[in-house]
């Protein structure tokens, strides 16, 4: 690299994306193209900084950094001062500004924004999973799920799937209908990953009648008859016993309460479901 060129060192105790974006935005304000960017991410030792400084001092360089660990930040500033290398701290002025306004001490932990992004995308992935494998649409999803919910119609399978998805848990659900054969994939899922949902027949009559009204249908339809509901509940009970899975009565429970019970069941048996583990 010739003497008119500029080496831009981006130093971070995380990925270094922030430093890169700021550096590119700044250099674009000048009629200057003879530069090279060198990224040094995940710096967690003084020795790494020392090695980088030894390289930077040989040429015309500038160091832009986003270090949040105080010890490493101070060491970097001291080393660049020794060799008269321009050094720009991006994060500190912003962190100090927020600290003053919020009257709070920063965590000083590298990579927090990345962790937040990862958590967000896992949640989106879990929600998409719940939609894709809702109501037994695709039995191939049963083996991929963290939890499989089974139950007859109107036992809160879909609301529970979505609620758990917002906790980064991938949930598939399968409706139990006497006339419809169950997918073989369900019997390949470990029983400890399956939760059966049941309810009080009288409560279910009310729910199904309201559902029929919402659809503009007569409430006397077989779907909401006591005979049909008892038949479905008996069938579902037999399936759940065959699978050997835990069963939750959702008739008097809010979705949040049922979800809490599901998570407690998994904690008790030591089976991790959060984040797909």
Q: Residues annotated as binding site for ADP?
A: 151-158
Residues annotated as binding site? Answer: 151-158
Closest of 137, 186, 183 to residue 158, by C-alpha:
137
Query: ∠149-151-157 over CA atoms, to 5°?
Result: 55
Query: Would you mind telling me the total number of residues written for the chain in this entry?
Result: 277
- SS3 (DSSP) at 66: strand
- Using CA atoms, how far apart are residues 183 and 181, in angstroms rounded to an integer? 7
101 class by beta-carbon count within 10 Å (0-12 exposed, 13-18 middle, 19+ buried): exposed
Token pair for residue 9?
Answer: 């060192």
Least Cα distance to 74 among 52, 62, 92, 57 occurs for 92
Q: How far apart (Å, rounded) are the C-alpha atoms in residues 32 and 109? A: 35
Give the tokens for residue 187: 């019997």
């Amino acid at each position: 690299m010739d003497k008119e060129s500029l080496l831009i060192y981006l130093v971070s105790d995380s990925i270094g994306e922030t430093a890169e974006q700021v550096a590119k935005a700044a250099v674009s304000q000048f009629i200057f193209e003879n530069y090279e960017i060198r990224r040094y991410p995940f710096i967690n030792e003084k020795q790494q900084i020392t090695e980088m400084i030894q390289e930077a001092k040989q040429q015309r360089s500038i160091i832009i950094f986003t270090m949040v660990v105080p010890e490493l930040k101070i060491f970097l500033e001291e080393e660049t001062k020794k060799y008269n290398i321009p050094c720009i701290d991006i994060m500190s002025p912003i962190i100090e500004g927020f600290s003053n306004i919020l009257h709070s001490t920063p965590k000083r932990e590298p990579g927090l924004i990345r962790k937040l992004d990862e958590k967000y995308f896992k949640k989106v992935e879990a929600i998409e999973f719940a939609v894709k494998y809702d109501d037994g649409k695709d039995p191939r999803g049963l083996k991929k799920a963290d939890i499989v919910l089974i139950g007859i119609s109107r036992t809160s399978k879909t609301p529970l799937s979505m609620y758990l998805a917002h906790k980064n848990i991938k949930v598939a659900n399968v409706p139990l209908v006497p006339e419809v054969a169950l997918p073989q994939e369900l019997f390949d899922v470990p029983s400890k990953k399956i939760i059966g949902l049941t309810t009080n027949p009288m409560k279910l009559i009310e729910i199904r009648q309201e559902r029929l009204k919402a659809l503009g249908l007569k409430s006397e339809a077989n779907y909401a008859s006591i005979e049909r509901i008892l038949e479905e509940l008996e069938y579902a009970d037999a399936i759940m016993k065959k699978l050997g899975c835990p069963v939750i009565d959702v008739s008097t429970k809010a979705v949040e309460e049922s979800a809490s019970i599901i998570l407690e069941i998994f904690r008790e048996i030591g089976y991790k479901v959060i984040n797909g583990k």
